Structure 1
């Protein structure tokens, strides 16, 4: 049987990690992998996480299963963190998932159960796992224009023109903030326009919220999501705690479904529980309980908010400094957009050939589409990096 299998295409990020690891140059630089790093190149454990884990270790008395939907307190705390007071809680069904990726997968399967004829529209470009999962599940997928390579901003007119082809019941996948891979985000006014469009046309928004707190702030990053939640009858949200809590390896996520009426919420909740049961039975508890402890304790929550805000501001400083270094190196303003984008990523607009030259001649690693991880920028080596980029242009 197994001899009939074909070798799958390598994941480009994993492949890049392997190339970087094999490079023996001491001054090599990894700007490809999408993991937050501090000034020392580490992915730190947040102070509040350490404190919450210590409390959990001291107080936990069993390792028995929690529930199919996961930790109730975690789901409720995440619901408040994401939605605030934007929509009545009796219309929101939620469950814990293994990471944000697990949440996206569960919601894709929920779409498949609810309407097998629905198409899912995603941005061009988007996180590669979105189209990969849709193809694996056999869900019809379509793309809408999103990024204007000339201006390095959102192509909103192109987006609206493409979504004019969506039919009633189709799902439109949006990035909640800090668009991956471009770093370009819709304005709040554009979110309002989309909300009105979706409500009028009967389209269902699905929000992938992987970076809350990394862009303009915890509440600002979900301002568009919250507005839309208050305007449309149905919405799906996949949330990740990998970045804003630094819990990458603990796989902490949540999936939410907003129904048009409270009487439909138990049905949505039951289906989320059923999908959890079939895909992984019970979700992992440690990371989710850690998040629940932090969000439920005013002191730990404030500590977390403060550290997260420091991480966010640090990335904004790196963005501004890098844009200035590129301006000096190229004697132009064509990279100024780096300072205005938000989140961990920006796409520089380099060709695959230029990216390959940066890797071979300078030991600088980024994905083939020239997406860079802002958190991986060397604060003390920005002029050297900018000079290398100018050299391959």
Structure 2
């Protein structure tokens, strides 16, 4: 049987990481890998998370399973963090998942179980793993226009025109905030218009919320998701704790299914638990336990929010510095969009050949579509990147 297996395409980001490690240049810059880094190039454990781990070590008395859906208290606190008071608890079914990726996969599984003919409409571009998972599952995909490489913003007219092609029961996959890979976000006015059109065609929104707290703040970053669940009959939400709690390797996420009709919660909750059982049975608990401890303790939560705000404003400062450096060195304001983007990522909108030239000539590593991780920069490397961008003629 094994001789029938075919070699799978290499993950481009993992290949980029390997190439970076093998590059002997001391002044190389890694803007490819999608994790937050501080000014020293480290991905630190957040203070509140470390304190919760110490407390957990003292207090935990068992490693028994928590349940197919995970600890209900984790779901409750994540529901409050993401949805606030936009809907009632009776409207939300939820299960813990192995990271935000697990939540995305489980959400697609639920869609396939409920409506095998549904087409998944995804932004062009989107997080590559969205497309990889959908291809692996055999679900039909239709792109909708999103990023305008000329302006560095959203092609909103194109987006709406393409969403209007969706059929009743189709899924429109949306990024809740900090769009990956572009960093370009909808305004709230645009969100409300998009919601109207999704409802008009009878499609169902699915929101990937991977970066809450990295854009404009915890509440502001949740505003679009809350507007969607308030206005749409049904919504699917895949949320990650990897970035805002810094617990990447703990694989902590949650899948929520929201209905305006509370009577649907029982069956939906049972379906989500069933899907967990089929895929990995009981979800991991360590990361989820840390999250619920931080969110449930006033002192830990305050420290977590303070550190998260430091992370967020630090990335905004780097964006501003880079935009200013590029204006000075290029005598143009065409890179101002970098300061307007939000989250870890921005997309320069240049060709793969220019990205390769940045790597070969300047030791600057970014994904081939020109996505770069702003958090991979610091005050010392911003001028180097700005000059390299100008030198290669972007």
- Confirm or deny a common fold (TM above 0.5): yes
> Residue deviations 1:202-241, cap 9 Å, x none?
1100000000000000000011110111011100000000
In 2, the alpha carbon distance for the partners of 1:222 and 1:62 equals 34
Residue 368 of structure 2 is aligned to residue 360 of structure 1: no
Which segment is superposed worse, 193-202 or 247-256? 193-202
In 2, the alpha carbon distance for the partners of 1:385 and 1:230 equals 42
Deviation at 1:201, TM superposition (A): 2.2
The answer as to whether partners of 1:346 and 1:373 remain within 8 angstroms in 2 is: yes
In the alignment, what sits opposite 2:212? Answer: 212
In 2, the alpha carbon distance for the partners of 1:46 and 1:281 equals 29
The answer as to whether partners of 1:329 and 1:383 remain within 8 angstroms in 2 is: no
Deviation at 1:381, TM superposition (A): 2.5
Deviation at 1:163, TM superposition (A): 1.1
In 2, the alpha carbon distance for the partners of 1:355 and 1:195 equals 35
The answer as to whether partners of 1:259 and 1:268 remain within 8 angstroms in 2 is: no
Which segment is superposed worse, 346-355 or 290-299? 346-355
Unaligned runs of 5+ in 1: none
> Residue deviations 1:25-73, cap 9 Å, x none?
1111100111000011000000000011111111000011110001111
TM-score normalised by structure 1 residue count = 0.99
In the TM superposition, structure 1's runs of 4+ consecutive aligned residues that sit over 3 Å from their partners are: none
The answer as to whether partners of 1:36 and 1:375 remain within 8 angstroms in 2 is: yes
In the alignment, what sits opposite 2:293? Answer: 293
In 2, the alpha carbon distance for the partners of 1:262 and 1:357 equals 55
In 1, the alpha carbon distance for the partners of 2:169 and 2:268 equals 16
In the alignment, what sits opposite 2:314? Answer: 314
In 1, the alpha carbon distance for the partners of 2:110 and 2:240 equals 18
Which segment is superposed worse, 372-381 or 115-124? 372-381
In 1, the alpha carbon distance for the partners of 2:240 and 2:52 equals 18
> Residue deviations 1:103-137, cap 9 Å, x none?
00000000000111111100000000101111111
> Residue deviations 1:287-313, cap 9 Å, x none?
100000000111111110000001000
In the alignment, what sits opposite 2:5? Answer: 5
SS at match of 1:256: strand
TM-score normalised by structure 2 residue count = 0.99
In 1, the alpha carbon distance for the partners of 2:31 and 2:88 equals 41
How big is the alpha-carbon RMSD for the aligned residues of Structure 1 and Structure 2?
0.8
In 2, the alpha carbon distance for the partners of 1:143 and 1:105 equals 18
- Aligned counterparts, 1:1-393, within 5 A: 1-393=1-393
Deviation at 1:200, TM superposition (A): 2.6
SS at match of 2:318: helix
The answer as to whether partners of 1:176 and 1:207 remain within 8 angstroms in 2 is: yes
> Residue deviations 1:69-88, cap 9 Å, x none?
01111111000000001112
